[in-house]
Structure 1
Amino acid sequence: MGRADARKAQKRASRPSGIRRFFSWKKLLGAFFGLVLLCMGAFVVLYLVIDIPEGNPDAEKQSNIFQYSDGSTMARTGTVNRELVDLAEVPKDVQRTFVAAENKSFYSDQGIDLKGTARGMLNTVTGKGKQGGSTITQQYVKNYYLTQDQTVSRKLKELVISLKVDQKKSKDDILAGYINTSYYGRGAWGIQAAAHAYYDKDASKLTVEEGAYLAALLQAPSQYDWANASDTGKRLVTARWNYVLDNMVDKHWLSASARQAMTKFPKPMQPKAAAGLEGQEGYLYTAAKAEVMKDLNLTDDQFEAGGYTITLNVDRKKQKQLEKSVKEQLTDHLDPKSKKADARVQAGAVSVDPKTGRVLAMYGGAGLSEHYVNNATRDDYQPASTFKPLILAAALENNAKTQNGSSIKASTIYDGTNKRPVVNDGQKVGFAPPNEDDRSYGPVTVQTAMNKSINSVFAQMGADVGMQQVMDTAEKLGMDKDDLKPYAAQTLGTMGASPMEMAGVYATLDNHGKEVTPQIVKSVTVKGEKVALPDAVGDQVISRGAADSVTSVLTGVVDDGTAKASVRDNPARDGQQVAGKTGTSDDNKSAWFTGYTPDLVTSVGLFGEGALKTSEAGAHVSMKGAGGLPRVDGGSFPARIWAQYTFNSSSSNSTFDLDTDMGAGVEPTTTAPVTPTQEPSTPSSPTQEPSTEPPSTTTSPTEEPTTEPPTDEPTEPTTDPTDTGDPTGGITLDPVDPQDNNGNGNGRN
């Protein structure tokens, strides 16, 4: 090889091969700078072609129209509640709370946050939701000049316009525009309306602490509204309130000593109802609005911008009948002005079509202007024994057996002894609930236990089924899974629930096990375009046999149980077939009747709540003595309201079409009563073979909630030794040691 050939070979060897022929650090660096220059050029073009647009006038905002199912108008809302104020009218320190909350560099920046905007654009492109990190100027531009749309083009416009606005307007003008155009919740647009909505004062009278709350509120107006915020919402807004004040100290706008003195969170007053929405229509409006916002995933800003026509499922005739029934069967018997017990009673009710899930009527309370919380949708009171049918449904659905291996059905015999310890696999699990008034019933069928609402039977049944299986069935039927913890005491209905929730659960039973989710909204149109809504009727969540067998058993509660006086013997019944269950919680803090015909499901709840302007305001309190009754139980006012409403809302006498292959309800047999005061003895282990249910499904004593178990309506003690379906019986009849009750109370109020 010659020198020339050697040089050529060396040159070829020094050349990059493979992917290195196309990429090198020089090429990559050049491409990067080229891209940067291209972006800069594109931005310059955008800056030149995009001008500051005309602001969005208030007149462009539309009303939201709410209609009854017949198309008649119920309410027209959405008119902008705003009163513009000059920045000078807002105390300087209150102005600064908004800067501390949203944009600490506001007074020194150029109106944009490139990092925050880039993050927002990336979130939009990748579908991760709203942007974060916008400056006050950018938020003002979005509120006043642009829309709430989350698109890349809108964000680019926001960036350019924000730069120009920052150059042409003073910081004070921008801040004034921002606090005057922002939405604070409660229908309040702008700081002046917000000051009145939350503190009933002009913006000029706001304190620093109050200003910090309003500034914190802008992040999530609905979630952070103290009047209806969850515990999580209250914790979050308190943390943000502290964050705002601490930022003011960091910026030297607030002294450390003044900050240390600000330890009390400035709780706002209760909301005032919008004009024209003070009564039941106010509750219907708030419930419908909440449902639409949830179903369509709307923000407060988007909904309050208007343009929605919302038709409710509410039947005006049924609505008036429900209101009339509450008045004639409850409020006409109360004198809240002179009797403390009467002032404590709150009523809520929901009526649902089980075939469609439509909410046909709803009663939320005395009126939105008098009681802001909607009693029909609140879920902070125990459903008590209205939960018992769900335990039976779980037993049937899971083919559960008693401790001796007998199948659980209406005819199965249990021990109804008062405070009988719950047994699982031959071992006591540390739970021995009292029956109502400490009554003992001895051997009874499941049918009698349901009719008389015997706590000891259903506590044992929960262990037989397995508490996790009970909770799973309750969730399938429509209860909120967050409240469904597998504690033994949950067999007594110690979780929270609303009349809306319980109406949905019983509607699913009435609908033969097909899931029913109550819907108050029938249809929604936005600027003439109809919007798709979720289906109210879903899949088969439990078998028809299980659901229909529970319905069959629940007819006994009406015909022979705790509801017979108010429902069975009601002269307006006229032969109508009815299923239902009463419930009364511990210390008489809640009382329920949830019942149904083949065509209508209605849940009525009464709740003991401390009256306004008293030391008990808002607290859960006993209803003892209300309406002249020693105890307000589910078979009294709730069942009477239910009966008058139901029997006057339908003229047809329909009958249940039941498939009871899992066991129909049975006739109860009454013999000599067991003396409630008899001396119990130490319990023995079951003599029959225990089931294979693992002990882990029943909660240990240390895991029990501290809530006292609910009580139920007083009934005459009975025994029912006849088992037409399983003569071997369900469980050994063991009286209980009075010292062995795990401190679960004595069932007295």
Structure 2
Amino acid sequence: MGAFIVLYMVIDIPEGNPEAELQSNVYKYSDGSIMARDGERNREIIDLAKVPKKVQRTFVAAENKTFYKDSGVDLKGTARGVLNTLSGKGAQGGSTITQQYVKNYYLSQEQTVSRKLKELVISLKLDREKSKDYILAGYINTSYYGRGAYGIQAAAQAYYRVDAEDLTVEQGAYLAALLQAPNQYDWAIASDTGKKMVQERWNYVLDNMVEEKWLSQADRQAMKFPEPPAPKPVQGMEGQTGYLVDAANHELKKQLVAQGAAEDMEQAKALVDLGGYTVTLNVDKKKQAELEKAVKAKLTSKLDPDKREVDADVQAGAVSVDPKTGGVVAMYGGVNYVEHYTNNATRDDYQPASTFKPVILAAAVDQDAETQDGVPITANTIYDGTSRRPVMDGDREVGFAPPNEDDVDYGDITVQEAMNKSVNSVFAQMGIDVGMTQVMKTAGELGMDTEGVQAVPAQTLGSMGASPMEMAGVYATLDNHGRQVTPAVVKSVEHKDRTVELPDPIGERVITREAADTVTSVLTGVVDDGTARRSVRENPLRDGQQVAGKTGTSDNNKSAWFTGFTPGLVTSVGLFGEDPKTHNQVPMYKAGGVDYRVNGGGFPAEIWAAYTFGVMGEVTEFDLETKQGNAVKPSSTPTRSESPTQSPTHEETTEPPESEEPTTEAPTTEAPETEAPETESPTQSPSGTPTTEEPPTGGESTEPEDPLFPDGDWQQ
């Protein structure tokens, strides 16, 4: 008690915290030129009288029902917070509105015992010296509501596009609920869980108002949850700028948490929004402009929603990485940040499809894996490329028998040719030969987010979600001879009050150099002899440049990919079918005027080539340490790997089955890419063996019905 009396005597109510003053963040290109200024405090202080009385009380009901009666502090809650801080358990709730206002305006967000004791004393004094209306006004005017809005007036505009004086009780209750977790509860970006939690919080606020007799039960029962509309355009964030700034802020917030400056992403966001940061990105201004130009020339200029409704569903995303530094030198997030809020470059809700196949081969070579009859898996290993061949684990069928595109049977085929033609049946079997647990482990080490993903055979078709950013990192790790590359948007951060140290984007070796270089070698064949040859190999701007890459087209043509690289540049391009109204995933058939599927060897590869060959500079060659050379073709008499269900040995010819170049023509049985049908539940496998029917020969989609994939959709 004596110590507390001393504290009360020596601690005065300070001036407002300098960090509460208006500031902005500055974002620069890698050359130091200004990209954008953001973070100007979006706040307008208003008198409490302009806020409807019942709306004022929503905040009291949400945070501190005893506000009008208490002395400004919650002694139990503060004591609990001090003990938790001392014991390392982190921050806890329990603060009054007065304490929260003191923390926001006079102190800081740091979780220390000294700060909590200061908060207690200042709150007691403030409650004695100022009215409850003064404190409540300060609280609702200084609090952060998300969407860059500080204070209730800015929040009313940001969420409901009205002034605070025009807020309804329902809307006020939502804004009051937001204060607990602004990012998590923002309806525009909240997960299903977040939406459920904010609705529960909203109900809690209104029920407390009824309990305090600030709202009648009849009025309460008549109220409906007021879903706020999508955010209004942010000035200065048009085009690609908003995507780049958001991506940079995300990395900055993660690092603030990692180095202990913030306890979680919510607190880190509050620190970033305080402003004062100069953030230099790895983005190269010239490469950024060229990437945007390539997308416009090869895709968006060909989309005409007035002529074809499906064209409105096509979204593009791309990430370009320097494999030597890990820097993201260019990014395409969508047609316009103020029109399409989601960053297509970092979204991970679409399947990468056959761009995952190199991961399987990387795992095989890195682990010196063998086929089930003991033949080492290399580029020259022969597999049975029969469509719908049951995948075997020893003498047991695993219940997975994926078809090749258009049900083409390739018979005996080398791993090299299977990669070139993206033969599903080969890589499904290879995944089992290597072991799916090992395949998924390698995927994680290469940079994919595999947390919670089951290691089932269907994953060999790339059925998990992935982003262009992730796939660029995977292929950059291959290009960097097996040393992990984690794509980094931010190059450096400066702030007058704190130092932000960024992690090295180049990590440890995660697979052997020979494994990485072998996969690179094989992927040169996809460009020179496979599904990407027309868009890339025959591009007049190539000028002899060595290129490696892989196409992919996913379930029911909902996504199409090309991820490719030269020795100095890795770029992943994805096209995604998204309904602009519901944001559900939808097919892209016939988009952009193609006669049938939007394939990875089409628009994505064309964008990749236009961009890469436009910025590549001097022609270079891969420096590969592999015994197999660049896309080495098999000898005329390779050794065949037998397994219990493989067809009788075919006589190997010097000319394996050729596939057509990717075109916009209707598919034939000699398809440009190998696809497999959509699987609704990759973790389930039917019993029995699928039957084979005649594949379509062109025109409209008439794919055969398959008992494993009843929709009859294809994935390559």
Determine if the TM-score, normalized by the shorter chain, exceeds 0.5: yes
Q: Which amino acid aligns with 2:272?
A: F
Question: How far off its partner does 1:261 sit?
Answer: 4.7
Question: How far off its partner does 1:223 sit?
Answer: 2.5
Aligned positions of 1:138-537 closer than 5 A: 138-262=99-223, 265-297=225-257, 298=262, 299-482=268-451, 484-527=453-496, 530-537=499-506
Task: Please say if residues 308 and 526 of structure 1, whose CA atoms lie closer than 8 Å, have aligned partners that are also in contact.
Answer: yes
Q: Which has the larger radius of gyration?
A: 1
CA distance in 1, matches of 2:557, 2:579: 13
Question: How far off its partner does 1:260 sit?
Answer: 4.5
* TM score, norm. by length of structure 2: 0.87
Task: Please say if residues 19 and 274 of structure 2, whose CA atoms lie closer than 8 Å, have aligned partners that are also in contact.
Answer: no
Q: Which runs of 5+ in 2 are unaligned?
A: 263-267, 638-642, 649-665, 673-687, 693-704
Task: Please say if residues 583 and 713 of structure 1, whose CA atoms lie closer than 8 Å, have aligned partners that are also in contact.
Answer: no
- C-alpha distance after superposition, 1:667-701 (max 9, x if no partner): 27999xxxxxxxxxxx974599xxxxxxxxxxxxx
Question: How far off its partner does 1:90 sit?
Answer: 2.4
Partner of 1:639, secondary structure, is helix
Instruction: Identify the match of residue 643 of structure 1 among 609, 615, 631.
Output: 609
CA distance in 1, matches of 2:218, 2:430: 60
CA distance in 1, matches of 2:636, 2:494: 58
Aligned positions of 1:711-730 closer than 5 A: 716=670
Question: How far off its partner does 1:259 sit?
Answer: 4.2
Question: How far off its partner does 1:663 sit?
Answer: 7.8
Structure 1 residues 419 and 248 mapped into 2: Cα distance closer, same or farther (>3 Å)?
A: farther
Structure 1 residues 334 and 740 mapped into 2: Cα distance closer, same or farther (>3 Å)?
A: closer
Task: Please say if residues 468 and 572 of structure 2, whose CA atoms lie closer than 8 Å, have aligned partners that are also in contact.
Answer: yes
Structure 1 residues 668 and 261 mapped into 2: Cα distance closer, same or farther (>3 Å)?
A: farther
Partner of 1:47, secondary structure, is helix
Q: Which amino acid aligns with 2:133?
A: D
Partner of 2:550, secondary structure, is strand
CA distance in 2, matches of 1:328, 1:670: 43
CA distance in 1, matches of 2:454, 2:56: 46
Please tell me whether residue 658 in structure 1 is matched to residue 627 in structure 2.
no
Identity of aligned residues (%): 67
Residue-pair matches, total: 656
Counterpart in the other structure of 1:625: 590
Task: Please say if residues 273 and 282 of structure 1, whose CA atoms lie closer than 8 Å, have aligned partners that are also in contact.
Answer: no
Instruction: Identify the match of residue 541 of structure 1 among 510, 513, 519.
Output: 510
Counterpart in the other structure of 1:597: 566
CA distance in 2, matches of 1:155, 1:735: 67
CA distance in 2, matches of 1:670, 1:560: 18
Partner of 1:531, secondary structure, is coil
Q: Which runs of 5+ in 1 are unaligned?
A: 1-39, 672-682, 689-711, 719-733
- C-alpha distance after superposition, 1:358-387 (max 9, x if no partner): 000001111111111111111111111111
Question: How far off its partner does 1:546 sit?
Answer: 1.0
Partner of 2:320, secondary structure, is strand
Task: Please say if residues 431 and 741 of structure 1, whose CA atoms lie closer than 8 Å, have aligned partners that are also in contact.
Answer: no
Structure 1 residues 456 and 146 mapped into 2: Cα distance closer, same or farther (>3 Å)?
A: same
Partner of 1:444, secondary structure, is strand
CA distance in 1, matches of 2:204, 2:484: 44
CA distance in 1, matches of 2:293, 2:317: 13
- C-alpha distance after superposition, 1:275-312 (max 9, x if no partner): 11111111111110111011112422211111111100
Partner of 1:293, secondary structure, is helix
Q: Which amino acid aligns with 1:623?
A: M
Question: How far off its partner does 1:78 sit?
Answer: 1.9
Question: How far off its partner does 1:434 sit?
Answer: 2.1
Question: How far off its partner does 1:425 sit?
Answer: 1.8
Structure 1 residues 114 and 565 mapped into 2: Cα distance closer, same or farther (>3 Å)?
A: same
CA distance in 2, matches of 1:633, 1:591: 6
Counterpart in the other structure of 1:69: 30
Counterpart in the other structure of 1:117: 78
Task: Please say if residues 438 and 747 of structure 1, whose CA atoms lie closer than 8 Å, have aligned partners that are also in contact.
Answer: no
Instruction: Identify the match of residue 128 of structure 1 among 89, 97, 100.
Output: 89
CA distance in 2, matches of 1:186, 1:621: 29
The worse-fitting range, judged by mean Cα deviation, of 525-534 and 292-301 is 525-534
Task: Please say if residues 197 and 272 of structure 1, whose CA atoms lie closer than 8 Å, have aligned partners that are also in contact.
Answer: yes
Partner of 1:648, secondary structure, is helix
Q: Which amino acid aligns with 1:170?
A: S
Partner of 1:546, secondary structure, is helix
* TM score, norm. by length of structure 1: 0.83
Task: Please say if residues 634 and 713 of structure 1, whose CA atoms lie closer than 8 Å, have aligned partners that are also in contact.
Answer: no
Task: Please say if residues 433 and 745 of structure 1, whose CA atoms lie closer than 8 Å, have aligned partners that are also in contact.
Answer: no
Task: Please say if residues 420 and 526 of structure 2, whose CA atoms lie closer than 8 Å, have aligned partners that are also in contact.
Answer: yes
Question: How far off its partner does 1:634 sit?
Answer: 0.5
Partner of 1:248, secondary structure, is helix
Question: How far off its partner does 1:231 sit?
Answer: 3.8
Counterpart in the other structure of 1:722: none
Question: How far off its partner does 1:257 sit?
Answer: 4.9
Counterpart in the other structure of 1:9: none
CA distance in 2, matches of 1:553, 1:715: 24
The worse-fitting range, judged by mean Cα deviation, of 282-291 and 128-137 is 128-137
Structure 1 residues 742 and 735 mapped into 2: Cα distance closer, same or farther (>3 Å)?
A: closer
Task: Please say if residues 508 and 516 of structure 1, whose CA atoms lie closer than 8 Å, have aligned partners that are also in contact.
Answer: yes
Q: Which amino acid aligns with 2:438?
A: Q
Partner of 1:183, secondary structure, is coil
Question: How far off its partner does 1:526 sit?
Answer: 0.9
Task: Please say if residues 184 and 217 of structure 1, whose CA atoms lie closer than 8 Å, have aligned partners that are also in contact.
Answer: yes
Structure 1 residues 75 and 662 mapped into 2: Cα distance closer, same or farther (>3 Å)?
A: same
Structure 1 residues 157 and 472 mapped into 2: Cα distance closer, same or farther (>3 Å)?
A: same
CA distance in 1, matches of 2:452, 2:468: 15
Task: Please say if residues 68 and 313 of structure 1, whose CA atoms lie closer than 8 Å, have aligned partners that are also in contact.
Answer: yes
Task: Please say if residues 514 and 626 of structure 2, whose CA atoms lie closer than 8 Å, have aligned partners that are also in contact.
Answer: yes
Structure 1 residues 453 and 134 mapped into 2: Cα distance closer, same or farther (>3 Å)?
A: same
Structure 1 residues 717 and 136 mapped into 2: Cα distance closer, same or farther (>3 Å)?
A: closer
Partner of 2:227, secondary structure, is coil
CA distance in 2, matches of 1:463, 1:342: 39
Instruction: Identify the match of residue 535 of structure 2 among 566, 582, 600.
Output: 566
CA distance in 1, matches of 2:111, 2:634: 64
Q: Which amino acid aligns with 2:546?
A: Q
Task: Please say if residues 434 and 746 of structure 1, whose CA atoms lie closer than 8 Å, have aligned partners that are also in contact.
Answer: no
Aligned positions of 1:654-693 closer than 5 A: 654-661=620-627, 665-667=631-633, 685=645
The worse-fitting range, judged by mean Cα deviation, of 209-218 and 444-453 is 209-218
- What's the C-alpha RMSD, in Å, of the aligned pairs? 2.6
Counterpart in the other structure of 1:33: none
CA distance in 1, matches of 2:706, 2:159: 52
Task: Please say if residues 405 and 671 of structure 2, whose CA atoms lie closer than 8 Å, have aligned partners that are also in contact.
Answer: no
